[in-house]
Structure 1
Amino acid sequence: MGIVSPIVGVVRFWPAVIVPAVFATLFGPWVGGTGAAIGIFLSDMTYGHQIALLSLFAGVPANFLGFFIVGYLAGRNLEWRHLALGIIGTCVIAVLVGYLYLIGVISVDIMAIFAAMAVISVVTILIAGLKFPRWRGFEVGCVLGLAVGAAWIGVTLVIYSRIFMLPLTFEPFARSAPFYAGVLWMVWTFCSEIPFMILLGPPILEACYNAIPFLRRGRE
């Protein structure tokens, strides 16, 4: 079960995001994407907002797309130039963090935390590219996959709020949420999950490969 953020309602702080990222890398994009989609739906209906339509519109597609991308890129040997994709994705998040601060939606301390997550992402991608090339695909996949999934959540929650009412935990954005609310949900989702994926993923995966060598999928 995720930890509900007091800032953004039921868009949850989710350390367990590392689980579908690992499965997507070990068993491929379809397993990772489908497993994450089913998992978030069950979570939403059990511990979350319990609105099936909202989950199917926002959470399920976001998780499928995000972890499909992780699994797809993690299985590829990327070159140096491909690292730019991950860095650009992180820079976009950093720009959105600055936008939220400038319009007064987040305080300077929250901005600093979000910005730190973006910096950690860039540094990790660069280290992976320089020292551990076998993890380039995984690190870039995590950044791009999570960015796409987070963007889907931000956009669809705003759209949903224009048609239906979001749960009251989304107040004051339960009805007709403004554009910046979608940006906030996107940034929160990305920044609260990316550290677990890019930092914990490689050591967990390495342990899995050492325990079950045939899962390595030709990474060497």
Structure 2
Amino acid sequence: MTKLIGYARVSTRQQSTDRQQVDILAAGVRRDDLYIDHGISGARASRPHFDRALDALQAGDTLVITTLDRLGRSTQNMLAFAEELRGRDAGLRVLNLGGGDVDTSTPMGSMLFTIMAALGQMEHEIKRERVVDSIAKRREAGKSLGGRPRLITDSQIRNARRLIEGGETAAQVALDLGMSRATFYRRARALGLPPDQSADETLTSDTGK
């Protein structure tokens, strides 16, 4: 007897598969035949519950997912997976592919799957290009890119202190390092390299207000 095997996935533990589960169960999948991966990226080759879902698939069965990106990120991987299912005489049903329900076991569904997989990959590449372009523009404008603060080594702090001794201002040196003057002074003192006295007095005066 053929059956439907459901699979749902979210990339982070904070996300929920509730919506996916509702749609998959409504498509006729039994809850005992629904496999879920939490906090697993689509880029990973090994997904524990996805592997279990595939192991459960028998000839004539159909894997049911809500959207194409639950399978993975690249067109090549998606199409290779669809071909693998065909080789096992199993089908793939995507509940929301191109705005509708697509079953790759049918000729029309197979063709549409190929087209939509290619379009999905193209959209991913376009988004990636936009992100890269945005980062490049922010760099050119001298704006912060966000993310983790740059790690400043003790050696950089020592070199910065030498620059101050050579006539550079503490404010400019701290700016070049990407930190505040107060942070620079604190790091310098921790290394036994206090800034010049005038800078200390300025800091004390500023923090004492």
TM-score w.r.t. length of structure 1: 0.28
Pair member with larger Rg: 2
Larger relative contact order (Cα-Cα within 8 Å, sequence gap ≥ 6): 1
Q: Which has the higher helix share?
A: 1
